[in-house]
Chain A
Amino acid sequence: MSEQNRLRDAGAIVGIGATEFSKDSGRSEMRLVVEACEAAITDAGLSPSQIDGMVTFTADTNPEIEVARNLGMGELSFFSRIHHGGGAACGTIQQAVLAVNAGVADYVVAYRGFNERSGHRFGTGVQGRPPLATAESAHFAWYAPFGLLTPAQWVAMFAQRYLHEYGATSEDFGRIAVADRKHAATNPKAWFYEQPITLEDHQNSRWIVEPLHLLDCCQESDGAQALVVTTPERAKDLAQPPVIVKAAAQGAGENQDMMTSYYRDSITGLPEMGLVARQLWNTTGLTSDDVQAAIIYDHFTPLALPQLEEFGFCARGEAKDFIRDGNIELGGRLPINTNGGQLGEAYIHGMNGIAEGTRLVRHTSTNQPENVEHVLVTAGTMVPTSAVLLGVA
């Protein structure tokens, strides 16, 4: 593969919309998604009947056709879904850019919504009966019988090795949480608005799975987020200043597993994210030096560190030093997760991060740094993943 593609500056995010982010929405997941899509379409200055493409996650339980029917969209000429949980987030934008450039759709809505907090919970429903003999369920045969059952536990295995190899500490993970919560504290939409934490709070929070404290782990949220994508040409006539998709990429690494790539020679990097990074840089000709802010996927703090390394913001194993120097907070070299991230704002599988990236380029974030020209947004880690590089027109 060339690790470079022809879709440089080929798409634009022209609308964003979300529900409130809560712990108990009190309404159906379908309604959340419909509300978010309507808000995004309105933000773009479009009407639902102009939307002809939809893309979401395979993990989403709200079928495109039902969303379209509820919104009165009429006919759809493009619909697509992406697998691997939060790894799909920026992949939805790539799908939309592919579609509008191939001419199979003019305006594509990407969405994700759920009642994750008030609906089902992780770690429940474990049964004594054998599951189906599919490759997807057989994957869990190597983990579930041993009690390795939750995303936090799968991630902790990498985190422990990362600490061992690079001399990082739990406090370095904590600094990600502190920055996220600091930024959430000034974002009225964030669940943890006006609730900053200290590093001491982080260290004193109980163990969930060593080496992860409670405050290393993302919250569970109810809510939905939608975005509208079209070509930069069509974007010129719409309501908002277009936010250009400089490049979008997906990546699955060699010897990739779903959350448990424990069998590679090294398990302290994220080769799938490295592949995504090379595609973004090679496609745009830009480097990490050209990026002024980033939304780094933060379902669990430890994996923010190797992401900074894979994108070249610091050398391998040196993210701890980059973070200790205050680079990731407002006023620093690379403010991250200015919305509060998923730890602070809401966990909408990374989609709310793309919306914040869009606001950063529009210069409308509640924590807006000055002189933002390019923003990196990443998707879920330890799974096949994706990222987008957004920028001004």
Chain B
Amino acid sequence: MTTTDTDEQAAFLTKLRAFQGTEAGTEVGADPVNQAMIRHWVEAMGDQNPVYVDPDAAAQSVHGQVIAPAVMLQAWVMRGIRGRPAQGGSPRDELMGMLDDAGFSSVVATNSEQEYDRMLHLGDHLRTRTVIDSVSEEKHTGLGVGHFVTTRVEYETTEGEPVGRMLFRILKFKPGTGRSAAPSDDAARRPLRPRPALTQDNAFFFDGAKQHRLLIQRCAQCGRLRHPPGPRCPRCGSYEWNAQEASGRGTVYSFVVNHYPQVPAFEYPLAVGLIELEEGTRLVANVVGIDPSDVAVGLAVEVEWLDEDPDLTLPAFKPRA
């Protein structure tokens, strides 16, 4: 990547991030919370809890009256199948337009999280207020090069009482830039990789990875590098440490090619290497950019970054140019 590219990216990101925190429109639900929609929903879901449909049973429950399933929240202000009338000019449309114009024209919903303040009752009439929460830096995902855009939708009654909120994240990406030549539906549906358990001893490594920096723990007293990291230097006994950024160059000390079992988060055959960095420490990481059957002990490699999802970036190693 050239410096110019990086500068342009930084300038583009600044423009995108100008939208963070801006209001992106309000909507009012077509109908108040009502029994008919609840009935359709629980029948479709196969949920037989009487508290949603039987006023007598609901009256005996802790709720005292019929409630709507909490996860229906989004349904109460959702537009029907006719969709949104063309408005144009909203900050959200402007942001999407900028991404489209820059080539990030494909979109995939990645995940959403909901929070509920209280149960909804028949007659509650909801409205939403949408805020552009965040725009990520450019990420190299399995689907392609793109930006994650997160919006926050605040749900409240038409009287102004907050009842819940939803974080909704999409990836706007450049089609055809994914790791596989033809980004498949499989990639989009693939579950997230297993999360690392983070402690005060190892979090710096994964934080560094998010900034595409390969960090090695270094004793602040005697300078010894150590990986995996730990709280105390086994050589000099110091609890003080900092981190050194590795060059990213190394060799394959050993490797495996996984075939079974096949965990849905990964593509198989999966090459996993034990990489000896030129700084002297070793770490486990995927070997990419090479047919797994061509990986060999001694192969010279350099780091590449896998932006797996918004919360996880991992180092991988590819044959050195």
Contact B261 A131 (CB under 8 A): no
Give A122 to B227 CA distance when docked, in angstroms.
27
Contact A157 B195 (CB under 8 A): no
Contact B197 A133 (CB under 8 A): yes
Contact status of A145 and B312, CB under 8 A, knowing A123-B263, A208-B259: yes
Kindly state whether residue B193 has any CB partner on chain A within 8 Å. Answer: yes
Bits for A117-137, please: 1 = Cβ < 8 Å to B, else 0. Answer: 000001110111111111101
| List of A residues within 8 angstroms of B182 by Cβ | none
Among residues of A, the one whose C-beta sits closest to the C-beta of B314 is A145
Interface of B is mostly: loop
| List of A residues within 8 angstroms of B269 by Cβ | 207, 210
Kindly state whether residue A238 has any CB partner on chain B within 8 Å. Answer: no
A252 CB to nearest B CB, Å: 14
Contact status of A127 and B194, CB under 8 A, knowing A138-B202, A142-B228: yes
Give A34 to B204 CA distance when docked, in angstroms.
48
Flag the segment in A146-154, A311-319, A325-333, A354-362 that touches B: A146-154
Kindly state whether residue B243 has any CB partner on chain A within 8 Å. Answer: no
Among residues of B, the one whose C-beta sits closest to the C-beta of A130 is B195
Contact A128 B259 (CB under 8 A): no
| List of A residues within 8 angstroms of B265 by Cβ | 126, 128, 147
Flag the segment in B24-32, B64-72, B169-177, B278-286 that touches A: B278-286
Give A22 to B234 CA distance when docked, in angstroms.
46
Among residues of B, the one whose C-beta sits closest to the C-beta of A217 is B260
| List of B residues within 8 angstroms of A263 by Cβ | 227-228, 281-282
Chain A contact-residue range equals: 35 or more
Contact A137 B197 (CB under 8 A): yes
Contact A141 B314 (CB under 8 A): no
Contact B259 A210 (CB under 8 A): yes
| List of B residues within 8 angstroms of A21 by Cβ | none
Contact B195 A129 (CB under 8 A): yes
Kindly state whether residue B266 has any CB partner on chain A within 8 Å. Answer: yes
Interface members, chain A 213-231 (any B CB < 8 Å): none
Partner of A132 from B197, B263, B314 at Cβ < 8 Å: B197
Give A134 to B193 CA distance when docked, in angstroms.
19
Give A134 to B297 CA distance when docked, in angstroms.
33
Interface members, chain B 218-277 (any A CB < 8 Å): 227-228, 253-261, 263, 265-266, 269-270, 272, 274
Give A208 to B257 CA distance when docked, in angstroms.
9
Bits for B272-312, please: 1 = Cβ < 8 Å to A, else 0. Answer: 10100000011111100000000001000000000010001
Give A130 to B282 CA distance when docked, in angstroms.
24
Contact B202 A209 (CB under 8 A): no
A301 CB to nearest B CB, Å: 15
Interface members, chain A 146-186 (any B CB < 8 Å): 146-150, 153, 156-158, 160-161, 164
Contact A210 B257 (CB under 8 A): yes
Contact B196 A207 (CB under 8 A): no
Contact B196 A138 (CB under 8 A): yes
Interface members, chain B 43-72 (any A CB < 8 Å): none
Give A140 to B196 CA distance when docked, in angstroms.
7
Contact status of A164 and B194, CB under 8 A, knowing A123-B263, A146-B286, A153-B272: no
| List of A residues within 8 angstroms of B312 by Cβ | 145
Contact A157 B194 (CB under 8 A): no
Kindly state whether residue A193 has any CB partner on chain B within 8 Å. Answer: no
Among residues of B, the one whose C-beta sits closest to the C-beta of A131 is B197
- Most B C-beta atoms less than 10 A away, residue of A126, A146, A207: A146
Contact B199 A161 (CB under 8 A): no
| List of A residues within 8 angstroms of B274 by Cβ | 157, 161, 262, 267
Kindly state whether residue A239 has any CB partner on chain B within 8 Å. Answer: no
Kindly state whether residue B119 has any CB partner on chain A within 8 Å. Answer: no
- Most A C-beta atoms less than 10 A away, residue of B228, B269, B286: B228
Give A243 to B197 CA distance when docked, in angstroms.
46
Kindly state whether residue B198 has any CB partner on chain A within 8 Å. Answer: yes
Contact status of A150 and B261, CB under 8 A, knowing A141-B197, A142-B283: yes
Kindly state whether residue B21 has any CB partner on chain A within 8 Å. Answer: no
Partner of A148 from B196, B201, B202, B256 at Cβ < 8 Å: B256
Give A128 to B256 CA distance when docked, in angstroms.
23
B127 CB to nearest A CB, Å: 32
Contact status of A123 and B191, CB under 8 A, knowing A138-B201, A141-B197, A210-B256: no
Contact B297 A144 (CB under 8 A): no
Kindly state whether residue B18 has any CB partner on chain A within 8 Å. Answer: no
| List of B residues within 8 angstroms of A149 by Cβ | 194, 261, 263
Kindly state whether residue B122 has any CB partner on chain A within 8 Å. Answer: no
A213 CB to nearest B CB, Å: 10
Among residues of A, the one whose C-beta sits closest to the C-beta of B298 is A164
Contact A207 B286 (CB under 8 A): no
B260 CB to nearest A CB, Å: 5
| List of A residues within 8 angstroms of B188 by Cβ | none
Kindly state whether residue A236 has any CB partner on chain B within 8 Å. Answer: no
Contact A164 B201 (CB under 8 A): no
B252 CB to nearest A CB, Å: 9
With A126-B194, A150-B261, A164-B297 known, 9 other A-B pairs at CB within 8 A are A126-B191, A132-B197, A141-B196, A141-B206, A147-B193, A147-B263, A157-B255, A206-B259, A263-B282
**7 cross-chain pairs, A with B, having the tightest CB-CB distances, nearest first:** A141-B196, A128-B192, A123-B261, A137-B197, A161-B254, A210-B257, A144-B194
Q: Which residues of B contact A (CB under 8 A)?
A: 191-199, 201-202, 206, 227-228, 253-261, 263, 265-266, 269-270, 272, 274, 281-286, 297, 308, 312, 314
Please list 5 pairs of residues, one from A and one from B, whose beta carbons are closer than 8 Å in the complex, sorted by A's number: A139-B228, A141-B198, A144-B193, A148-B258, A210-B269
